[in-house]
Chains A and B, each alone.
Chain A
């Protein structure tokens, strides 16, 4: 009955290194979202998964960012060649599919991963 979990909770890396951030959604939630929260940009959408496919990647800021989801569950957000402007808190959310009793498929957020690029 756990909520959305994310790991690591904190990540400090050097500029130019690659990082992987992990999200475990609530069991049974088919939709998964990644958001980023930074001082300069506020909270912004990155990418959305329905099952294992990503119909909306419109928020990914550059081609250094990618994400995948396997087994309709865990998702990994990868940032290659990190830059200082990538420093932010990366939030994951999950929701049930729309329709039926869950017509307004509320999103439940994880605790986030704080990424610091030195």
Chain B
């Protein structure tokens, strides 16, 4: 059974600081996604990571994937209040043509002044 663990579960950080969210998964997978969820809203796709060593960056967020360690990181640079949200990683478990997602527990990020 595929298990996905995220840490930390909650992160309070000051504006301007850097921090990293970690996502570990238990079995081989084709790809990994990072999603953002604002309160009361649905999931917004941030990144898809397809191969070992993949790195994607968008603004102050950078995601990377190490398939050998079964680890992905989401790095936040110089946080701003607008980044406050819950972040989920999700790992794909392929079954035929299906690509069902197994989600991590989520990291609730709160950026304070």
Shortest beta-carbon distance from B48 to chain A in Å: 6
Nearest A residue (CB) for B99: A105
Total contacts A-B at CB 8 Å: 55
Nearest A residue (CB) for B94: A98
**B101-112 to A contact mask, C-beta < 8 Å, 1/0:** 111111000000
Query: Is A14 an interface residue when CB atoms closer than 8 A count as contact?
Result: no
Query: Is A71 an interface residue when CB atoms closer than 8 A count as contact?
Result: no
User: Interface size of B by Cβ–Cβ distance < 8 Å?
Assistant: 24
Inter-subunit contact B103/A44 (CB<8 Å): yes
Shortest beta-carbon distance from B50 to chain A in Å: 6
- The residue that B101 contacts in the complex, of A35, A56, A110, A112, with Cβ under 8 A, is A35
Query: Is B59 an interface residue when CB atoms closer than 8 A count as contact?
Result: no
- The residue that B99 contacts in the complex, of A43, A55, A59, A98, with Cβ under 8 A, is A98
- Within B87-107, the residues touching A (CB, 8 Å) are 88, 90, 95-106
Inter-subunit contact B45/A106 (CB<8 Å): yes
**A93-113 to B contact mask, C-beta < 8 Å, 1/0:** 001011000001111111110
Residues of A at the B interface (CB closer than 8 Å) are 31, 33, 35, 42-45, 48, 50, 55-56, 59, 91, 95, 97-98, 104-112
